[in-house]
A = this chain, B = another copy of it.
Amino acid sequence: MDQRPRPTRGRPVATTHEEIEEAAFRLFDERGFAETTVEAIAESVGIGRRTLFRYFDSKNDIPWGRFADSLDHFREILADSPPGLPLHESVHQAMLRFNDFGPHAAPQHRRRMGLILSTPALQAHSVLRYAQWRGVIADHVADRTGLAPGDLLPVTVGHVSLALALSAYEFWLAHEESDLLDLLDSAMAGLRDHLA
């Protein structure tokens, strides 16, 4: 989102996205998302409310962190997939790799998704993010099939891939011990059986 080399001119920044995110999550844990005002988050970071809105477009955007960056990563994964691979395989593999946070980042990822998927306002806001994610898939499918990104198949594969991912995520969050990657596999296998 903001990978510019940071010109050293002008007044220095007062905070970072990460710092705001951290403070916000602390407050969300304490009082809940709806009960935490943007004012409180800003105060907790030590910045003005107005400044916080320059780092995040809305309160709903805070839990998503720098999502746009990871979208670029997703796009690369798909582009790098071997051209010989069947389409459904390359999409499937990309989904697995995209969601493969190491043991290091997994806890924060779980915290983030847990908050998002359990908070109505955030669930709602998420579709706008999901739409971008689906777009990346649709573009890839269109590219490999020669169809337009708006044609039925690319759009459908995008939607269905998201559907599988969300199923897996919901189960993962509900079951502490489960493995997200296994679940993605299972969800896809289940769908295949179901349709057969």
Binding site for B on A (CB under 8 A): 87-88, 120, 123-128, 131, 150-153, 155-157, 159-160, 162-164, 166-168, 170-171, 174, 183, 186-188, 190-192, 194-195
One complex includes copies of this chain to the number of 2
Q: How far in angstroms is the closest Cβ of chain B from A109?
A: 20
- Across the interface, do A194 and B88 meet the contact criterion of CB distance under 8 Å? yes
- Across the interface, do A187 and B124 meet the contact criterion of CB distance under 8 Å? no
Inter-chain CA distance A156–B195, complex, in Å, is 12
Looking at A125, A152, A156, the one whose CB has the most chain B CB atoms below 10 A away is A156
- Across the interface, do A191 and B156 meet the contact criterion of CB distance under 8 Å? yes
Inter-chain CA distance A155–B171, complex, in Å, is 9
- Across the interface, do B152 and A156 meet the contact criterion of CB distance under 8 Å? no
Q: How far in angstroms is the closest Cβ of chain B from A46?
A: 31
Known: A159-B166, A163-B162, A164-B160. A153 touches B190 (CB 8 A): yes
- Across the interface, do B171 and A167 meet the contact criterion of CB distance under 8 Å? no
